[in-house]
Structure 1
Amino acid sequence: MSPHPSAPVPPTLFDDEREPRWRSRFTTARMSRPGWARDAPARSVYVSNATGTVEIHAWDRDSGEHRQVTDRRNGTTSAVLPPDGGHVWWFADTDGDEFGRWVAQPWSSGAGADTVPAVPGAGDGYPAGLEIGRRITAIGVSTDDGTVLSVHERGSGTDAREIYRHTEDAGVGALSEDETLLAISHSEHGDSRHPSLRVLDVATGDTVAELHDGPGRGLAALEFSPVAGDQRLLVGHERRGRDELLVWDPTTGEVTELAIDLPGELVGGFVPDASALLVAHTHAARTRLFRHVLASGELTELPTAPGCVGSAEVRDDGTVEYSASSAATPSQIRALRPDGTDEVLVAPPGERPPGSVAVRDVWTEVPAGQVHSLVAEAPRADGRPAPAVFVLHGGPHAADEDRFDAGRATWVEAGFTVVEVNYRGSTGYGSAWRDAIEGRPGLTELTDVAAVQDALVADGTVDPARCAVDGWSWGGYLSLLAAGTQPQRWAAAVAGVPVADYVAAYTDEMEQLRAFDRALFGGSPDELPDLYREASPLTYVDEVRVPVLVLAGENDPRCPIRQIDNYLDALAARGDVTYEVSRFDAGHGSLVVADQMDLIATEVDFVRRALG
């Protein structure tokens, strides 16, 4: 491997009041919406960066005590409470590599306490679902050999019992209230992007029922009814080209599609008595909450705080606890009471971070439809458009939304207009939009990005000579691909944890992503070498003409380091292109606040220098 020039971390980004302001958006304590133990609802867990690293924290609602649960060098993001709340379960990987096991420690313990395997005999791997009942735990583990789903009777003194195994991707979906039925997703048909559902008998492993909607139509097991004796399963489907809801009773075969007259896409969950659903409705990059009564079909929008809802759940007393933010307003954890009172539920210690600017919606016509973008505009100098950075989201099956983001706010503070493009492949705009990249990923998305750029140049929002492209994960992949296939459009390219050499990435990545790639491309690199070559940034490395910054995690299982080194070596071999590298000791991004700040500062500084 050739030595590569390291990207410097600037000691400061600004020499005025903006310096403490951008930093405080990262250092101010933030927290996720707390989840709670079903039978001990005063016990909650959440994720917070309050200690400078994202870790698991516990909250005793009766006493008001908040306590740090984990303390690991590279942080911890996944935790859950079993129904009795007696232990905190969290996922233990190594240095951010996402490979590990669920462990348990006593509820009353703090950081550094001894842990035990939460599910004895389940084995190590990448997580593939977890459902914890009062008696039975169902767990999924993915390895290079495929997926194993197991069930374990807690307190039995025995190891987990395998209930399903397949070389194709699968996952634990939902466990019935009486813990006799387990809904799983599977892709035995070879398409992990559009899974089918199977309900298994927990005691025997026998198949109780199957639900398969055919090619290009995926199904998701959301949850079983929380009422004992009610075996109805809430399912997400896309039978009419968008995410909608149905109720399926696998014991009778009855399927009821729910006619909810809202544009956009829907996901939901049962209220505690199963008489209604709490529905999250996403449309045009915003999510709002509704209540849908199952018997009558009555639909009511809930009067939540302005902004975009992040997540929500209903407590036994009918209170809806939710998170909400907007591009301009940092996130809050709120409680909507049954009497209509809406108030802050809990706040992390310290002051709230500063806000930022609002985004405006831009719709751009392309042959396939309309591309939706969010634009956060920086002030103009002398009437001239500010320099622009096109920040492309990861996924690809994800979307940029009108939510608060400290990174976006930093770019705006630095004087950049930020353009976020929900290109084909994004979620939230229907199945056809999401699946339009099948068979030609990468170049399809960049066609949409180019159309948005042209439209914003035409209306005077951006200066074509001062546009940079930036992204992380799939967005980083698109940035590198843009540098090689659209060099005339960009003044700089920034790629965080990208796919850089697609064939090598396929070889080294986790099996869940190999299955995703086979479904996206229509086969493996051995079966479709030309298609993978066409989609790989490495193919176009000799066409790169703009400065390139690559940020890479040493322990990344999704976009592994070897394939990034292959790309960097190819850049180095040219000898005539400016590029820099920032390597960090973590996985697919860092959970350490200081690292997050260094990374965004490195990005901003690099683009500033590239644009002069």
Structure 2
Amino acid sequence: MQNHQQEPSEWKQRFLAPKILWVPPVSAKPGVVYVLKSDRESQRYAWHVATGKFTLITIGPGGPYATLSPDGRYLYYLRDQQGNEIGHFVRRSIDGGDEQDITPDLPPYATFGLTISSEGTLICLTTADSQGFTVYIIDIDFQGELSSPRLLHRGHYALYKPVLAAQGEIVVMATREYSRQRNWSLLALKTADASYLANLHDGAEWSYEPVSFSPLNGDTRVLAKTNRTGDVRPLLWNPCTGQRQELLLSELAGDVEPLTWSYDGRQILLCHVHQAIQHLYVYSLTTHQLRRLQHPGGTFNMAYPTLQQTFVTQWTDAQHPPQLLAISENGDMWQTILAGEKIEAPCRPWKSVTFASSDGQQIQGWLSTPEATGPFPVIIELHGGPDVVVTEHFSPTSQFWTDHGFAYLTINYRGSTTFGKAFEEQITGNVGHWEVEDIVAARNWLVAENIAYPDQIFLTGWSYGGYLTLLALGTYPDLWAGGMACAAIADWALAYEETSPSLKSGRAMRFGGTPQENPEAYVRSAPLTYAEQVNAPILIVQGRHDTRTPPGSIEHYEAKMRALGKSIKVIWFDGGHYSLRADIKRFMAHQEVLFDFAQRIIAGEVLL
């Protein structure tokens, strides 16, 4: 292998660079921004535009959910134990002070998050436990004091993503009450007395998810999305009148995700995603015209409108860490309004590629290579989910591998979103099969294109990507040099019993039932089933307190692999699903461990 290694200080710049996570729309303190200071654990800072001052507003390894109050006074976030994502929501003043538990009398819970009405008068949160899902309402008085939580709704089916009308009088949430599949319908309730208002569903085949209410007081239209056409499209629904308006936008191929309303409620910002490439559009609700906006290529996450007729959005691409852009509503101007420190280390670009899988289905991926001419050793990184999509974004890990002489490929395998409903749902009932077929096709394409040495192709991934790494190593054992699985699952049946209550119903739907109802599907999809066939060395990194990919299945997998005399090493860390990636310094050390593992295999060392 050619030596392309840079000095450690260069690749570490990318990991250590502060990332602009998000600027929420706050009225009292405009310009309060989340910044991840990457020399610490997952801390959040408030950035005050007028003074340029950063203020630490969380301390310790809190959970992944965080919401800033509309008045800019408080940050709400989940305080869990050791990263297990089970705990209580707390709030802390932007100006400092102690945490306040907002649900002190409830037992610890898993959650899908918390939302606050734009007027700042109401909090809505979902909790999950072994008995099902519960939605609570908390009133906020004019001084910012909180009431005790009051029960709004409870059910055995999943409840997700509640959104509140501007004054908090109505809540709309996604529910699986009407579907045995992984699709959602909409349920609207009155928050004053928890009474039923309306629902929106067209049978189990189609899905509806809420995005946000109109920003105008008294306007009860909800911006939502649906897959009724086979691709995601925007939808307007008024639960008070039953009226709905679907925006078909037939001139756009692929998914069209609604992001937000304009400040005056007359336009909608849309994100068009086709073959994992994004473009922003504005749709006028008065003229019904669609207008493409001018902006750089890359990935846009979240957005909010301003009084200045712009949308503020987080943007990133392969060579730029996340930063904030302001894009004009008329589409003729964009500018950077907040970026992190400039990174001196050069970054390699990503290139969109496609190839055919075993059944002819075209699969899209992102390729990055060193400056030298191939072939190279190759890292195939598999995303988690699986129901997400990888778009072009800043990835210190991909840059790390190309710095060190590896080509890097990440693919949107079957089950990924934005490639159509059929593409996403093809894995249901046969988990792992088509995903691995697509991974094998990626490997074959890399070899045919002279990008990869055939005997130096490694698999890696987090969460569902870690699971696929282990499954591919067992089902196609002769194709890989090694596998590096992080936060993985090796036995779906055991993982189902140990996983968070908030995830069980969705996983059962993916498998066509629980492990008791459809045991064959769980056995067929488990890497544990194929342990005897594994030939390549395996490195697994797993958290002891992970409730998404619990440790039990990896303990069983390690024991079986060792009994079979296979080459496996498991590194355990004291944390949950997000803990290692949230601690940047520990994550950089983890990256060096993965590199050392791959280097030793390439050097021909025998790893046991």
| Residue deviations 1:287-314 (CA, integer Å, cap 9, x gap) | 2221110121211122223332233221
Q: Which residue of 2 aligns with 1:125?
A: 109
User: 2:180 matched to 1:194?
Assistant: no
| Alpha-carbon offset, residue 67 of structure 1 | 0.6
Alignment of 1:44-123 (within 5 A): 44-72=32-60, 74=61, 77-109=64-96, 113-119=97-103, 121=105, 123=107
2:34 is paired with a residue whose SS is strand
| Alpha-carbon offset, residue 105 of structure 1 | 1.9
Taking a change above 3 Å as real, the CA distance of residues 373 and 224 of structure 1, as seen in their structure-2 partners, is same
Taking a change above 3 Å as real, the CA distance of residues 374 and 157 of structure 1, as seen in their structure-2 partners, is closer
- What amino acid is aligned across from residue 160 of structure 2 in structure 1? G
| Residue deviations 1:501-544 (CA, integer Å, cap 9, x gap) | 21111110112221111110110111111110010011111111
1:55 is paired with a residue whose SS is coil
Q: Is the 8 A contact 2:121 2:167 kept in 1?
A: no
Q: Which residue of 1 aligns with 2:362?
A: 370
Q: Is the 8 A contact 1:124 1:141 kept in 2?
A: no
Alignment of 1:476-515 (within 5 A): 476-515=466-505
| Residue deviations 1:451-483 (CA, integer Å, cap 9, x gap) | 222223223222222211111100000000111
Taking a change above 3 Å as real, the CA distance of residues 243 and 560 of structure 1, as seen in their structure-2 partners, is same
Q: Which residue of 2 aligns with 1:5?
A: none
Taking a change above 3 Å as real, the CA distance of residues 18 and 285 of structure 1, as seen in their structure-2 partners, is farther
Q: 1: CA distance between counterparts of 2:266 and 2:146?
A: 38
1:32 is paired with a residue whose SS is strand
- What amino acid is aligned across from residue 135 of structure 2 in structure 1? L
Q: Is the 8 A contact 2:65 2:113 kept in 1?
A: no
CA RMSD of superposed structures (Å): 2.1
| Alpha-carbon offset, residue 66 of structure 1 | 1.5
2:273 is paired with a residue whose SS is strand
Q: 2: CA distance between counterparts of 1:36 and 1:68?
A: 19
User: 2:138 matched to 1:152?
Assistant: yes
- What amino acid is aligned across from residue 610 of structure 1 in structure 2? I
Taking a change above 3 Å as real, the CA distance of residues 217 and 567 of structure 1, as seen in their structure-2 partners, is same
- What amino acid is aligned across from residue 106 of structure 1 in structure 2? S
The correspondence for 1:406, drawn from 396, 415, 420, is 396
Q: 1: CA distance between counterparts of 2:75 and 2:22?
A: 16
1:44 is paired with a residue whose SS is coil
Q: Is the 8 A contact 2:4 2:404 kept in 1?
A: no
The correspondence for 2:125, drawn from 139, 156, 160, is 139
| Residue deviations 1:255-281 (CA, integer Å, cap 9, x gap) | 111132322212222111110001122
| Alpha-carbon offset, residue 372 of structure 1 | 0.8
- What amino acid is aligned across from residue 69 of structure 1 in structure 2? I
Alignment of 1:167-566 (within 5 A): 167-191=156-180, 193-260=182-249, 261-268=251-258, 269-337=260-328, 340-348=332-340, 350-352=341-343, 354-366=345-357, 367=359, 369-380=361-372, 384-566=374-556
| Alpha-carbon offset, residue 48 of structure 1 | 0.5
Larger RCO: Structure 1 or Structure 2 (Cα < 8 Å, ≥ 6 residues apart)?
1
Q: Is the 8 A contact 1:553 1:584 kept in 2?
A: yes
Q: Is the 8 A contact 1:500 1:567 kept in 2?
A: yes
- What amino acid is aligned across from residue 108 of structure 2 in structure 1? D
Q: 2: CA distance between counterparts of 1:241 and 1:353?
A: 44
- What amino acid is aligned across from residue 478 of structure 1 in structure 2? L
Q: 2: CA distance between counterparts of 1:543 and 1:503?
A: 20
2:521 is paired with a residue whose SS is helix
Q: Which residue of 1 aligns with 2:606?
A: none
Taking a change above 3 Å as real, the CA distance of residues 286 and 49 of structure 1, as seen in their structure-2 partners, is farther
Q: 2: CA distance between counterparts of 1:41 and 1:278?
A: 24
| Alpha-carbon offset, residue 231 of structure 1 | 0.7
Taking a change above 3 Å as real, the CA distance of residues 530 and 18 of structure 1, as seen in their structure-2 partners, is same
Q: Is the 8 A contact 1:45 1:80 kept in 2?
A: no
Q: Is the 8 A contact 1:364 1:452 kept in 2?
A: yes
1:466 is paired with a residue whose SS is strand
**Identical-pair percentage:** 27
Q: 1: CA distance between counterparts of 2:503 and 2:534?
A: 27
Q: 1: CA distance between counterparts of 2:276 and 2:4?
A: 35
Taking a change above 3 Å as real, the CA distance of residues 122 and 313 of structure 1, as seen in their structure-2 partners, is farther
Q: 2: CA distance between counterparts of 1:565 and 1:51?
A: 32
| Alpha-carbon offset, residue 123 of structure 1 | 4.8
Q: 2: CA distance between counterparts of 1:205 and 1:330?
A: 43
Taking a change above 3 Å as real, the CA distance of residues 259 and 531 of structure 1, as seen in their structure-2 partners, is closer
Moved more, 476-485 or 86-95: 86-95
| Alpha-carbon offset, residue 242 of structure 1 | 1.0
TM-score between both structures, scaled by the size of structure 1: 0.92
Q: Which residue of 2 aligns with 1:18?
A: 7
1:507 is paired with a residue whose SS is helix
Q: Is the 8 A contact 1:480 1:537 kept in 2?
A: yes
Q: 2: CA distance between counterparts of 1:227 and 1:330?
A: 34
Taking a change above 3 Å as real, the CA distance of residues 15 and 428 of structure 1, as seen in their structure-2 partners, is closer
| Alpha-carbon offset, residue 352 of structure 1 | 2.8
- What amino acid is aligned across from residue 79 of structure 1 in structure 2? A
- What amino acid is aligned across from residue 85 of structure 1 in structure 2? G
- What amino acid is aligned across from residue 321 of structure 1 in structure 2? V
Q: Is the 8 A contact 1:56 1:77 kept in 2?
A: no
Q: Which residue of 2 aligns with 1:3?
A: none
| Residue deviations 1:203-231 (CA, integer Å, cap 9, x gap) | 22221111113223211011111101111
Q: 2: CA distance between counterparts of 1:376 and 1:236?
A: 33
Q: 2: CA distance between counterparts of 1:332 and 1:532?
A: 42
- What amino acid is aligned across from residue 441 of structure 1 in structure 2? V
| Alpha-carbon offset, residue 177 of structure 1 | 1.6
| Residue deviations 1:547-583 (CA, integer Å, cap 9, x gap) | 00001011111111121111111111112x2221222
Taking a change above 3 Å as real, the CA distance of residues 194 and 499 of structure 1, as seen in their structure-2 partners, is same
Q: 1: CA distance between counterparts of 2:104 and 2:252?
A: 45
